[in-house]
Amino acid sequence: MSDCLFCKIIAGEIPSNKIYEDEDVFAFHDIEAQAPHHFLVIPKQHIATLNEADDAVLLGKLSLTASKIAKDLGFAEDGYRVVMNCNNDGGQAVYHIHLHCLAGRQLQWPPG
Ligand code: AMP
Ligand code: ZN
């Protein structure tokens, strides 16, 4: 989608701190980290919100990519949180679905 920030990041039109990329997904460090480790995993296909998503394999791949990166970066055993915000009440700001992965400190629950 031409006017989407994350589509532009995938296309390389906007720089990002990339961690991982394959034919389906792209992962990069969040520009405003909320924890010592905070990265985003996004599908290359533009999907605005979880409400529009219907590809179970692709959604599963977002989670498996997060766990792979957590293992590669060495914090999988200590633990981490993955979360996807949806629409206004969920706190979604960028309308291209993304899985947040946060780690490196004790995360609070409930998140507020
Ligand atoms: P959400 O509120 O769930 O839509 O999260 C959007 C996330 O995208 C926020 O955590 C932002 O800090 C992050 N973000 C926004 N712009 C960029 C960017 N150019 N590079 C990396 N992360 C970004
Ligand atoms: Zn997009």
At CA 66, angle to CA 86 and CA 26, rounded to 5? 80
Whether the CB-CB separation of 103 and 78 falls below 8 Å is answered with yes
Locate 90 and state its tokens.
């969920």
> pLDDT tens across 47-63, in order?
999 999 999 999 999 99
Distances (CA, A) of 107 to 6, 20, 75, 99, 103: 26, 24, 13, 16, 8
CATH of 5-103, one of 3.40.720.10, 2.60.120.620, 1.10.10.10, 3.30.428.10: 3.30.428.10
Annotation says 46 is catalytic: no
Kindly give the number of the ligand 1 atom that is closest to the alpha carbon of 16.
20
> pLDDT tens across 85-110, in order?
999 999 999 999 999 999 999 999 99
- Mean pLDDT confidence for 9-26: 98
Q: What pTM value is reported for the model?
A: 0.98
Residues having CB closer than 6 A to ligand 1 are: 5, 14, 16, 28, 30-32, 85, 91-94
Note the helical H segments in 1-112: 5-11, 56-73, 87-90
